[in-house]
Chain A
Amino acid sequence: MKYVDEFRDGALAVRIADNIAATINPARDYRLMEFCGGHTHAISRYGLADLLPSCVQLIHGPGCPVCVLPIGRVDQAIRLACEAGVILCTYADTMRVPASDHLTLMRARAQGADVRMIYSTQDALKIAREHPDREVVFLAIGFETTTPATAVAIIEAASYGLKNFSILCNHVLTPAAMHAIVAGGVALDGFIGPAHVSTVIGSQPYEVFADAYAKPVVIAGFEPLDVMQAILMLVRQINEGRAVVENEFTRAVSRAGNLKAQALVAQVFELRDTFDWRGLGVLPHSALKLRAEFSAYDAEVKFAAPYRPVPDHKACECAAILRGEKTPSQCRIFGSVCTPENPVGSCMVSSEGACAAHYSYGRFRGEAT
């Protein structure tokens, strides 16, 4: 497969691995956080930990949209589907996130709620047009990667004059989550920066982490060689005492990002004052809501369905894992009570979640990768 296989070349991987091994200072640790679940998945799927010296530690970050969705947000969607009788459209992973009362959207569907799995916002619009007599709500989740698609759907709905379409907006912002991480207690030497998010927002928003917090950031693609090269670039910066934003993913990311997508998002959305994240807690200016002129498409307004916070399962360590403070295998219900078939916490649901990735690909290792 052209343009993909080149980034999965085993011989090149060995060369980069040798280069990393020759570059590291074995007397110290290199604690690197891969912010994105996409990176977490690639690292686990390709077994990259086996190619790295033990002093290079990869710490999984909170960049998994399903993982950071708090229980109360899933409850809100389930309430709309069950009590307001709407057609609730959602991306697949969200279907299995555990909510209150042992419910998931999947179980709500089995009990009669009209929950539909879709692949794109266009599918949700199509359902709304096909069912003019029903209310259709799209459970919009995701970081900056998926937000432009939701913005386009809102603009299209407005131009069609669709009256029966609205969204439950849970779009969140990467830099805000990174702020919470650097302000928190976890010791970090640098970030492997997001791939797809950065194609939209560019590399500029990460400069503050290098400048103000002295954390090197290397933006990397989601292929295994991208990750290996980014690790090498981070190790070099750390050795040289530098902290700058470097871009390994130049084939897709510029400093300014995708201006057209940014303009669409700005046209439709504005900052929320606060948003409650699983693991990171209530963060100011960390998520988006629809602008007042689009409030007819805001399901929270339309159905008077406010968010009600719900505490996580007592034994679940998702919160600490999302903050980078614990590894999946340090959770005592990991792999016993909590498995991909019966997830207790959100990190066991999505293939990008730290627990699911470790369970599915790496649990033969005693410790988390």
Chain B
Amino acid sequence: MNIAKQYARPLDLKNGRIEMSHGAGGRAMVHLIAELIAPAFDNVFLAQGNDGAVMPAVSGRLVMSTDSHVVSPLFFAGGDIGCLSVHGTINDVAMMGAQPLYLSAAFILEEGLLLADLQRIVESMAQAAREAGVPIVTGDTKVVERGKGDGIFITTTAVGVVSDGINLSGDRALAGDKILLSGTIGDHGMAVLSQRENLSFDAPIVSDTAALHTLVQAMLASGASLRVLRDPTRGGLATTLNEIASQSGVGMLLDEAAIAVNAPVAAACEFLGLDPLYVANEGKLVAICAAEDAEKLLLVMRAHPQARQAAIIGEVRAERFVQMTTKLGGRRIVDWLAGEQLPRIC
């Protein structure tokens, strides 16, 4: 980009703040993008510098997903709104069994946001995209008046391609299938909330935010008869399982003892009166597969660094409701989340 060079004075990345002019479409906006955003995301598609990015044709069916991110605080243990916005949308595409290919990013910036914070967020996005091998090929930047936003909102869209023969869908769970979970629950939501509430623990709670597409590819390669993949984000594991049960017209029976929760997460939930089953995750997935393939799939998952603690947590049942055998040996419903448990966590 050569527009930046016309400016004598570079952006004040130390003390500067977002101003209304940064979103007005004039030179200030071009300057911001050219100096702060474009170099971080640098790739051949973005470098085309047009209203839209032109990419080569792909073979296979396209998968597309979009997600807005409004987390507060913007920075939390284990991540920030930047990498979260990349991981979250890549995961939505990956849960369809697709290989994610490209991302777009739209920013809504609040007047007064520190440029240093914006730079940190943009670099975190760039790193996450680089690590995932999914370039950010197009984007948009708008600025709203002070008080009309919360620092920064980021919307990302991902496009991926899914091979023939892979048909994952929430309506495919069958009675008898096994339910697998890739690791501990509640880490992301409690990392954000404990930061917001100024709770500190001996072992800090770290968000699990991560892109899961390589784990998904390994699971697909195992040959296990996979029916559904889904990442239990907002609303947590309970909500995700209820969505699947409702789409498939089935029930489920979970085993509470098989669902792992890190000790500090359990303690923080206890303290705040929350149920980890309803707390968001950003680097975990739920898989539903044919019972005969469950053990095989479990081994493949545990061999992947992102799913060392994977477990079979229950099975799909014909009878209604998502139910759970509690650690006490009783049985209860695991229902949809009613109302809002944790606002603004992703």
Among A1, A13, A45, contact of B329 (Cβ-Cβ < 8 Å): A13
If the complex has contacts A46-B328, A96-B339, are A1 and B333 also in contact, measured as CB distance less than 8 A? no
How does the 8 Å CB contact mask read for A329-369 relative to B, with 1 for contact and 0 for none?
00000000001110000000000000010011111100000
Interface size bucket, A side?
20 to 34
Q: Report if A44 contacts B (CB, 8 A).
A: yes
**Chain A at the B interface: SS class:** helix
Give a binary string over B263-284; 1 marks a CB under 8 Å from any A CB, 0 the rest. 1001100100000000000000
For B239-282 the 0/1 string (1 means CB < 8 A from A) is 00000000000000000010000010011001000000000000
Of A47-55, A207-215, A236-244, the one with at least 4 CB within 8 A of chain B: A47-55
Residues of B contacting A360 in the complex (Cβ-Cβ under 8 angstroms): 333, 335, 338
Q: Select A8's contact among B319, B328, B338, B339, beta carbons within 8 Å.
A: B328
Chain A residues within CB distance 8 Å of chain B? 1, 4, 8-10, 13-14, 17, 44-51, 96, 119, 224, 339-341, 356, 359-364
- Asked if B266 contacts A47 (CB within 8 A), the reply is no
CA of A360 to CA of B239, assembled, Å:
13
How far does the alpha carbon of A48 sit from the alpha carbon of B319 in the complex, in Å? 21
Contacts of A361 in B (CB 8 A): 332-333, 335
CB B192 to nearest CB in A, in angstroms, measures 16
Q: Identify the 5 closest CB pairs spanning chains A and B, nearest first.
A: A47-B330, A340-B338, A50-B330, A361-B332, A47-B332
Tell me the minimal C-beta distance from A31 to chain B in angstroms. 20
Q: Which residues in B have their C-beta under 8 angstroms from that of A13?
A: 328-329
Question: Quick one: which of B328, B333, B338 has the most chain A CB within 10 A?
Answer: B328
The minimal Cβ–Cβ distance linking B56 to chain A, given in whole angstroms, is: 47
The yes or no answer to B326 lying at the interface (CB within 8 A) is yes
Known: A1-B266, A364-B320, A364-B321. A46 touches B335 (CB 8 A): no
Given A47-B332, A359-B335, A364 and B327 touching (CB < 8 A)? no
25 pairs from A and B in contact (CB 8 Å cutoff): A1-B266, A1-B270, A17-B329, A46-B326, A47-B326, A47-B328, A47-B331, A47-B332, A50-B330, A51-B328, A51-B329, A51-B330, A224-B328, A339-B338, A340-B338, A341-B339, A356-B338, A360-B333, A360-B335, A361-B333, A362-B332, A363-B333, A364-B319, A364-B321, A364-B333
For B257, the chain A residues whose CB sits under 8 A away are 10
Report yes or no: B335 in contact with A10, Cβ–Cβ below 8 A.
no
On whether the beta carbons of B321 and A10 are closer than 8 Å, the reply is: no
Contact with A along B187-203 (1 / 0, CB 8 A): 00000000001000000
Q: How far is the CA of A224 from the CA of B339 in the complex (A)?
A: 25
- Chain B interfacial residues counted at CB < 8 A: 22
Q: Which residues of B contact A8 (CB under 8 A)?
A: 327-328
Least distance between A145 CB and chain B CB atoms (Å): 13
Taking CB atoms and an 8 Å cut-off, the chain B residues in 63-92 that contact chain A are none
The 8 A CB mask of B131-168 against A (1 = contact, 0 = none) is 00000000000000000000000000000000000000
Complex CA gap A1/B268 in Å reads 10
Q: Mark B283-297, 1 if CB is under 8 A from A, else 0.
A: 000000000000000
Q: Smallest distance from the beta carbon of A347 to chain B beta carbons, Å?
A: 14
Contacts of A4 in B (CB 8 A): 270
Residues of A within 8 A of B197 (CB): 119
Give the complex CA separation of A51 and B325 in angstroms.
Answer: 12
Supposing A362-B333, A364-B323 touch, asked if A10 and B328 sit within 8 A by C-beta, the answer is: yes
List, in ascending order, chain B residues with CB within 8 A of A224's CB. Answer: 328
Which B residues from 29 to 49 make CB contacts under 8 A with A?
none
**Chain A contacts of B320 at CB under 8 A?**
364
Chain A residues with CB under 8 Å of B325's CB are 47
Task: Decide if A50 touches B329 in the complex (CB within 8 Å).
Answer: yes
Chain A residues with CB below 8 A from B327, complex form: 8-10, 46
Nearest-neighbour CB distance to chain B for A27, whole angstroms, equals 25
For the complex, give the distance between the alpha carbons of A286 and B335 in Å.
Answer: 36
Query: Quick check: B267 and A1 within 8 Å, CB to CB?
Result: yes
Bound CA span A4–B267, Å:
9
> Are B330's CB and A46's CB within 8 A?
yes
Give A108 to B329 CA distance when docked, in angstroms. 43
Given the complex of chains A and B, what is the CA–CA distance between A47 and B330 in angstroms? 4
Q: Report whether A14 and B329 are in contact in the complex, using a CB–CB cutoff of 8 Å.
A: yes
Closest to A8 in B: B327
Bound-complex Cα distance A356 to B319 (A): 22
- Alpha-carbon distance between A47 and B255 when the two chains are bound, in angstroms: 13
A4-B270, A45-B332, A361-B332 given. 8 additional CB < 8 A pairs?
A1-B263, A10-B257, A47-B329, A50-B331, A359-B335, A360-B335, A360-B338, A363-B333
Q: Which residue of B lies closest to A95 (CB)?
A: B339
Cα separation A278 to B321 with both chains bound (whole Å): 32
Residues of A within 8 Å of B319, CB to CB, are 364
Contacts of B338 in A (CB 8 A): 339-341, 356, 360
CB of B266, distance to nearest CB on chain A (Å): 5
**Distance (Å) between the CB of A235 and the closest chain B CB?**
18
The CA-CA distance from A107 to B267 in the complex, in Å, is 33
Q: In whole angstroms, what is the CA distance A26 to B226 when docked?
A: 49
Most buried by A among B323, B335, B338: B338
Give the residue name and chain of the A residue nearest to B338 (CB).
A340
Q: Which listed residue (B267, B270, B332) contacts A44, Cβ 8 A?
A: B332
* Complex CA distance for A49 and B328, rounded to whole angstroms: 11
Per the 8 Å Cβ criterion, residues 313-346 of B in contact with A are 319-321, 323, 325-333, 335, 338-339
CA distance A17 to B332 in the complex (A): 17
A340 to B339, CA, bound (A): 8
Taken together as a complex, chains A and B put the C-alpha atoms of A41 and B245 apart, in Å, by 24
Chain A residues within 8 Å of B323, by CB: 364
Inter-subunit contact B332/A46 (CB<8 Å): yes
User: Which residue of A is nearest B333, CB measured?
Assistant: A361
CB B242 to nearest CB in A, in angstroms, measures 12
| Interface pair B339/A45, CB less than 8 Å apart | no
Q: Which residues of A contact B331 (CB under 8 A)?
A: 47, 50, 364
Contacts of A119 in B (CB 8 A): 197
Query: Which residues in A have their C-beta under 8 angstroms from that of B270?
Result: 1, 4
